[in-house]
Structure 1
Amino acid sequence: MEIYFLSSNKYKIKEVSDILGSTNIQIKSFNKKINEIQSDNMVEIVTDKVIKGFKEIGRPIIVEQTGLLIKNFGDLPGGLTQVFWDSLEADNFSKFFSKKGTASATAKTIVAFCDGKKITTFEGIIQGTIVSPPRGNRDFQWDCVFQPEGYDETFAEMGSKKNDISMRKEALYKLKSFLEESFHDE
């Protein structure tokens, strides 16, 4: 089955391909700018975006939204994490949220799949903390400030080992199971 992944982020495309790719599922990149609604509700964001993406391509498509829900900040920024990240960047993001108490956070991914008949969403979460100062490579957004619970490294310091435990992996494995059950005869 060919599935298009709507993203221009080369790191996300690689992660999704590495996690989801198999002989039965081929991931194709669909790099098209889609006007994304701004909301703290991640399900609303992916649902809106997968509908718009399907209208553009007319093929099975997935979109994903990953965000940080910081406990002492009312579980924000959530779906607005990218906006916060772009404004604050690594050092300021890390300092600001680390000062808000324990810096306990949930990293959450919501993946939406649309085949033209229905939209299905899948969620993955992992608990952790926001570290200060940032550690590791800063190329992939907030990976340098998020340290998963039970580990001594940030996602950035883990490198590809991140894919073994990440919230994106959890959501994508749920999607993969769904696809294998729903489309096993195709």
Structure 2
Amino acid sequence: MRLLLATRNAHKVEEFHELLPSIDFIPWPSDAPEIPESGAFFQDNALQKATYARDWWKAQGLPPVDGFLADDSGICVDALWGGPGVLSARFANHLSQDAKNRLLLSMLPEGSARSARFVCVLALAPTAGAPFTVGGAVEGTLAFEPRGTDGFGYDPIFIPEGHDQTFGELGSNIKHALSHRGRAAGDLKKRLGQNPTQ
């Protein structure tokens, strides 16, 4: 199966290759327009990105693929009323990721709960047929400072439930088994096995 992956995030591309090795992923072309994501919820954004990618690809007359996969994901912190949530990628975007992580931690009110979760929604728009979504989430807590160099994004500050180490410390094999994106990818694999794209 050949899918266009509607992202320029090199870390996500690498993770999808690891999570779904049987799928041949084509990354979003470097000369293609930015993919809009103006939805209020992860599902809205994922569907918007997948259908935009499909419509643009078809309009260019590019070689056919089996479908168009988009990911929308983020970290939701209870003490910040669920933020940054769908704005996770755009939160303090002028800063380096390490500075973003430290800023986010500094925003927690003193003595507040450190509970948080990672959420991921994947949308697949088949070349022909209606798009659908699958999702995954992982509960955890926020560390007091970034730890570890594995993973990307907010991984160094997120400790998954049942563990003492952050995703930045646990390594990719453990992370993929626990993570929001790993769980969503597992559900996608099951869905494709039951009802392949057409």
Same fold (TM over 0.5): yes
**Percent of matched pairs sharing the same residue:** 23
CA–CA separation in structure 2 for the residues paired with 1:46 and 1:39: 9
Gaps (5+ residues) in structure 1? Answer: none
Q: What corresponds to 1:140 in structure 2?
A: 152
Structure 1's consecutive aligned runs of 4 or more residues displaced over 4 angstroms after TM superposition are none
8 Å Cα contact 1:85-1:93 kept in structure 2? no
Which SS does the other structure have where 1:86 is aligned?
A: coil
Gaps (5+ residues) in structure 2? Answer: 59-64
84, 91, 110: which one pairs with 2:91? 84
Q: What corresponds to 1:128 in structure 2?
A: 140
**Quick one: structure 1 residues 133 and 178, their matched pair in 2 at CA, closer, same or farther if it must change by over 3 Å?**
same
**Quick one: structure 1 residues 99 and 43, their matched pair in 2 at CA, closer, same or farther if it must change by over 3 Å?**
farther
What is the identity, as a one-letter code, of the residue corresponding to 1:77?
P
Residues 101-112 of structure 1 aligned to structure 2 (within 5 Å): 101-112=112-123
Question: What's the C-alpha RMSD, in Å, of the aligned pairs?
Answer: 2.1
1:7 aligns with 2:20: no
CA–CA separation in structure 2 for the residues paired with 1:4 and 1:144: 29
1:173 aligns with 2:186: yes
CA–CA separation in structure 2 for the residues paired with 1:168 and 1:65: 10
42, 61, 65: which one pairs with 2:68? 61
Which SS does the other structure have where 1:3 is aligned?
A: strand
81, 102, 107: which one pairs with 1:74? 81
CA–CA separation in structure 2 for the residues paired with 1:35 and 1:2: 20
8 Å Cα contact 1:98-1:131 kept in structure 2? no
CA–CA separation in structure 2 for the residues paired with 1:99 and 1:66: 27
* TM-score normalised by the chain length of structure 2: 0.84
Number of residue pairs the alignment of both structures matches:
183
Q: 1:6-47 deviations in whole A, cap 9, x for unaligned?
A: 11111111111111122xx32222244433234441111111
Q: Flag the structure with higher helix content.
A: 1
CA–CA separation in structure 1 for the residues paired with 2:195 and 2:171: 33
Structure 1 residue 72, shift from structure 2 partner: 2.2
8 Å Cα contact 2:79-2:114 kept in structure 1? yes
Q: 1:35-80 deviations in whole A, cap 9, x for unaligned?
A: 3234441111111111111112234110101111111222222111
147, 166, 169: which one pairs with 1:157? 169
